[in-house]
A = this chain, B = another copy of it.
Amino acid sequence: MESDRYKRGLDKLREIDREQGERVVASLSDIAPDFATYLIEFPFGDVYSRPGLDLKSRELATVAALTAMANAAPQLKVHIHGAMNVGASRQEILEVIIPMAVYAGGPTALNGLFAARDVFQRTRSDLVFLVVIRLVQKASSASH
């Protein structure tokens, strides 16, 4: 039986990044499915669902922290992507990564910028891919 926290967490996670969220949950299904439940319940069902700060500000703070900690590159990329999904511009993302040179050092900020570039490029190709798909679908439906 799914708890209310789980449902609320899953909704919140989908709001931030449906695809990445589902990928992480799936990746844990064979080894530690309980952990996937925790990941949805506590961070997303409890913490991200709190009132008092909008989702975009939450994600920007997370991108800053993960850049500064410099020990979780895959999760940093997930949250750069998530920040964009909830309304952060590329410029705003860069503006929380660059100051980490001040707080966590130049190499750390540099690696944060490279993570952002990876996400931006992937997002751009996804976009191109999506546009092509839609054009093909349109052409295909038009030809019928």
Q: Quick one: CB contact mask for A78-114 with B, threshold 8 Å, 1 for yes?
A: 0000000000000110111011111111111111011
A95 and B65 contact, Cβ closer than 8 Å, known pairs A105-B102, A105-B103 = no
A30 to B117, CA, bound (A): 9
Partner of A61, one of B61, B69, B108: B61
A132: Cβ under 8 A from any B Cβ: no
Q: Which residues of B contact A39 (CB under 8 A)?
A: 106, 110
- The answer to whether A35 touches B69, judged by C-beta atoms less than 8 angstroms apart, is no
Once A102-B106, A103-B105, A110-B24 are accepted as A-B contacts, the answer to whether A94 and B32 lie under 8 Å apart by CB is yes
A127 near B: Cβ within 8 Å? no
